[in-house]
Amino acid sequence: MRMRSATILHVDLDAFFAAVEQRDHPELRGLPVVVGGAGGPDGGRGVVSAASYEARKFGVHSAMPLRTAMALCPDAVVLPVDGHRYLAASREVMAILGRFTPRVEPISIDEAFLDVAGSEGLFGPPETIARSIKSAVRSEVGLTASVGVASTKLVAKIASDLRKPDGLVIVPLGEEAAFLAPLPIWRLWGVGEKTRVALTDFGVRTIGDLAVVPPDALRRRFGEHGAQLAERARGIDASPVESSQDAKSVSHETTFDVDTSDRDVIERTLLGLSEGVAARLRAAGVRAGVVAVKVRDSDFTTHTRQRSLSEPTDLADPIWRTSVELARPLLRGIRVRLLGVAARNLAEPSQLALFAAGEEDRQRRRAEAVDAIRRRYGARAVTRARLLDAGIPEPFERDPDRKPRARGADTDTG
């Protein structure tokens, strides 16, 4: 693999929703602020969308039930989510990032990757660019950001998280493995709770411990996922920074270990794939106007179908329903080897669509709460009942750029 220079930045806004509230309401600065639900003295029945660092000292964190947060921090100021203001602040920050390079890949409303190769002649070395970005975000938007600088997206993202808030961590080219080695294993992409527990069989507690485990042993235990973990433990990550202009579609696919004609298994698999596609759409801040399915049979014949949606979506249920309807005519008289779901015609939603009322809004809030839980606790922390113990691929929270590989998805398989 060709080694890249240390020109990848990961920019992550600190306690974003809560920070916007403290910026706009100076009387809240220094106080524990919790954003989520409908507010109120008892926290209501919602979940925490964001917590200020003052609240985090009490153990409050995103995706926690609001009642639990209030029990931990009774003096917290609880505020409802104000999506319009957060979106406006996010767009200001993304515009700042775009001044330094066209290679900006937003992965959520409050974080993005940049590749600043080619920008050094105008703005200086990557460290200088990182400091300039932090300064511009502070002076122009009134927020703080933590930045990691490294040669890969994997290492840059881990670096940005180490010295929050307002941190800057630079990992020089060639020092990726040494930087990762002392860190706890849970910081590595693709290591959920089950994988972490399974790795204790190899005596693994840190990323450095994992780096010295023979790759063949990891492959035997975890399949293709084990081979990827072996690379990541050494800081190897070939995924490029992709700007929104680069993204033509989002897709997940998986190959069955044993070809199947079981309709229930096929529909559950399509549901798992649709969950993963929808999660990536939400992370990228886009919605799909077209859903496509791929069906490969035991003779290696591949069939594809697609359909335009009446309304663009980033939710799993409409993607799944459409994929099932598309797949059903293709399943007659065949045994299925591979299934895939793709979302195409991607576009940013309008402001009205972003904050739609009614059942769609409730579904999106539930989905975003699940996204937050999975990012913190692993891809399988929350699972649909229909997918339990079914061997069905699920969305993966740490590496949205890699599609599931044949004979096993890029997920926590431990």
Residues designated as active site: 111
DSSP string for 362-375 = HHHHHHHHHHHHHH
Query: Mutual orientation of helices 224-232 and 215-222 as an angle, nearest 10°?
Result: 140
Tell me the Ramachandran region of residue 37: left when phi exceeds 0, alpha when psi lies from -120 to 50, beta otherwise.
Answer: left
Nearest to 243, CA basis, from 342, 397, 94, 106: 106
Q: What is the DSSP letter of 116?
A: -
Distance CA 22, CA 39 (A): 16
Whether residue 391 contacts residue 185, with contact meaning beta carbons closer than 8 Å, is answered with no
Q: Which residues neighbour 340 within 8 Å (Cβ) at sequence distance 6 or greater?
A: 251, 252, 253, 254, 273, 293, 294, 295
Q: Where are the beta strands (DSSP E) in 357-406?
A: none
Beta bridge partners of 288: 313, 346
Element holding 260 (H helix, E strand): strand 249-260
The single residue listed with the structure tokens 């916007």 is 20
